[in-house]
Amino acid sequence: MTKSYDLIILGSGPGGYVAAIRASQLGLKTAIVERENLGGICLNWGCIPTKALLRSAEVFHNMKHAADYGLAAEKISADLDAVVKRSRGVANQLNKGVTGLMKKNKIDVVMGDGKIVEKGKVAVKTEKGDEELTAKNIIIATGARARDLPFAKADGKRIWTYRHAMTPPEMPKKLLVIGSGAIGIEFASFYNDMGAEVTVVEMMDRIVPVEDEEISKFLEKSLKKQGMTIMTGAGVKSIETSAKGVKAEIEDSKGKKASHDFSHVIVAVGIQPNVETVGLDELGIEPDERFHIKTDAMCRTNVEGIYAIGDVTGGPWLAHKASHEGVIAVEAIAGGHPHAMDVNNIPGCTYCHPQIASVGLTEAKAKAAGHDVKVGNFPFIGNGKAIALGETEGFIKTVFDAKTGELLGAHMIGAEVTELIQGYTVGKTLETTEAELMNTVFPHPTLSEIMHESVLDAYERVLHM
């Protein structure tokens, strides 16, 4: 029997399920098709459970430094199985939360593999058999998966993707992390804090290469101080696994090759979109050079009635971008006039130790775009709250257009900067200039005062330095 809807959404990650809720609010009869877990990778295997792991590592790190706060803690140890169990519990709680939201908003959930067989029609293979759904509009929100290296296929034993790293069969003693984007650096930070000997190999000339160069340099220095080995401008040429470990041939920045022994490897070299079984070729939906789906400002593909959002489309590949795109697509479908996404106003966060957060243009990109810039920089060590917290590592950098005062970008490294960045994101969305930021009253004592001082520094008005 065919079931008819106003909207069908393939995928229930942070893009898909948010789109479904907004569609329900606008009166659209909606079905969501999911092949694995409601909430997608983000809630079940990505953003949320990794933050639970990192929180455990942060607490463990603080326990080991209890004496710095006038406290005593003896016989400190970590139970990796218990840490993982807590992380999985957090993921399961949120999965149930999304299930409840679907019921509350009267959204039909069809569990199975969905494929668009023609415009307006989706075939779903479920455990009970095949189902056919029809709708005038369809949103593709099937996300992405970890990219493999051809010579380092993940086996879950010695070579891991992020999924294996979240439910490890054992604690790695000597860990190789290939790739220093957000995923690679977060796992490097977690396992380093938990006691593993960690080496990070990055083919670019600096780690977290999408960030401002000053942030990259500061993070590398900090991670090395924590005991990590960082190899930039380097590449892993081959990997051999055995029952005892991994042997990796690494070529350093000078072209010298050497063999290194590790217990485990995490491959974090990017993602590839889940598009193979959706039905793109049959419909003539256009991909880009990386096989992500091309969309316009309203998330429309080149085929009428078919939209795409989230990691299956172009970057940045972030959960909050997917959610916002879901709202844009649904409001466009409902006949509204939503604001188009501005990628320069999308914040990025990396939850390593210390944390990184940024929004807008780096100093280098601002100059390359033709801007004459004013740059402010203020360190955590100059902030009273940071000193009281014992978190004096880091700084905040702001980039302005010298002619107009427009806030072009903000870049942070330090404690809780992933919570602070939204202040600058709101400012950019409101098209603020330095005047509004300088005239804003920041509460004392807070870390947010570092934001204010960074702005003041750009205009030679810094107060506490």
Residue 394 CB coordination number (10 Å): 26
H-type alpha helices, 145-212: 162-166, 182-193
Is the peptide bond between 354 and the residue preceding it cis, with omega within 30 degrees of 0? yes
How far apart are alpha carbons 317 and 307 in whole angstroms?
17
Residue 146, beta-bridge partner list: 271
Residue 457 tokens, joined: 């520094």
CB 212 within 8 A of CB 193: no
How far apart are alpha carbons 91 and 181 in whole angstroms?
23
Segment (H or E) for 349 = strand 348-350
Strand ranges (E), 120-228: 121-126, 129-140, 144-146, 159-160, 174-178, 197-202
How far apart are alpha carbons 367 and 216 in whole angstroms?
18
Active-site residue list: 444
Pairing of strands 306-308, 174-178: unpaired
Burial profile 130-148: b = 16 or more Cβ within 10 angstroms, e = fewer: ebebbbebbbbbbbbbbee
CB 177 within 8 A of CB 198: yes
Long-range contacts of 366-374 (CB under 8 A, 24+ apart): 366/399, 366/401, 366/408, 366/409, 371/401, 371/402, 371/408, 372/401, 372/402, 372/403, 373/399, 373/400, 373/401, 373/402, 373/408, 374/399, 374/400, 374/401, 374/402, 374/434, 374/458, 374/459
Is the peptide bond between 49 and the residue preceding it cis, with omega within 30 degrees of 0? no
How far apart are alpha carbons 347 and 31 in whole angstroms?
30
How far apart are alpha carbons 244 and 264 in whole angstroms?
10
